[in-house]
Amino acid sequence: MSSSLIGGEKPRKKGAMAEAVLDASAILALFQAEPGASTVAEALPSVLLSSVNASEAVAKLIRYGTKPEAAVDAVRRLKCPIVAVNDRLGLRAGALYALTAKFGLSLGDRICLALAERERLPVLTADRAWASLDIGVEIRLIR
């Protein structure tokens, strides 16, 4: 059993096979038509999104002036599964702090990485700092 999978949790097996996990920065690039948006659009709907990263995306949209209901609807329209954070995923994200602190990753970032690790999927992100991570998760920069 891998020590990174706290409690031996197995990857999810429901529905179509996911091909990547989205970071909130990738979602925002899509919504704001920034460089890399087409990469994210092409990956939909075969991606997973953690509930924490969905929350981050909604909050950022609201900060940029979108009404709360419209921000929630925008994230839901992505039509990708939103994965709830359970105790194992949350604990693994906490443990990832030891490997990511020097990069300044947020809780949401670590949740995204923990989900990708658990599901054995790459992460799509616009955050260039992630390219330096060496934690056993494939990082795909969208730009």
Q: What is the pLDDT of residues 49-98, one digit of tens each?
A: 999 999 999 999 999 999 999 999 999 999 999 999 999 999 999 999 99
Which residue stretches of the chain are H helix? 24-31, 37-43, 51-63, 68-76, 87-95, 97-100, 107-119
Rounded Cα–Cα distance for residues 37 and 16 (Å) = 23
Q: What is the pLDDT of residues 78-90, one digit of tens each?
A: 999 999 999 999 9
Q: Residue 107: pLDDT band by 50, 70, 90 thresholds?
A: very high
Residue burial 40-66, b: 16+ Cβ < 10 Å; e: rest: beebbeebbbbebbbbbbbebbeeeeb
Reading the block at residue 134, the tokens are 């060496």
18-141: CATH homologous superfamily?
5'-nuclease (3.40.50.1010)
Q: Where are the domains of the chain?
A: 18-141
In this model, does residue 29 exceed pLDDT 60?
Answer: yes
Instruction: Give strand pairing partners of 124.
Output: 22, 140
Rounded Cα–Cα distance for residues 135 and 56 (Å) = 23
Q: Which helix (H) or strand (E) holds 140?
A: strand 139-141
What confidence score (pLDDT) does residue 63 get?
97
Beta-strand relationship, 47-50 and 123-125: unpaired
Kindly state the average pLDDT of the residues 5-22: 63
Instruction: Give strand pairing partners of 82.
Output: 49
Question: Is the pTM value of this prediction over 0.75?
Answer: yes
On whether the CB atoms of residues 87 and 106 are closer than 8 A, the answer is no
Task: Identify the residue whose tokens are 């690790």.
Answer: 117
In this model, does residue 104 exceed pLDDT 80?
Answer: yes
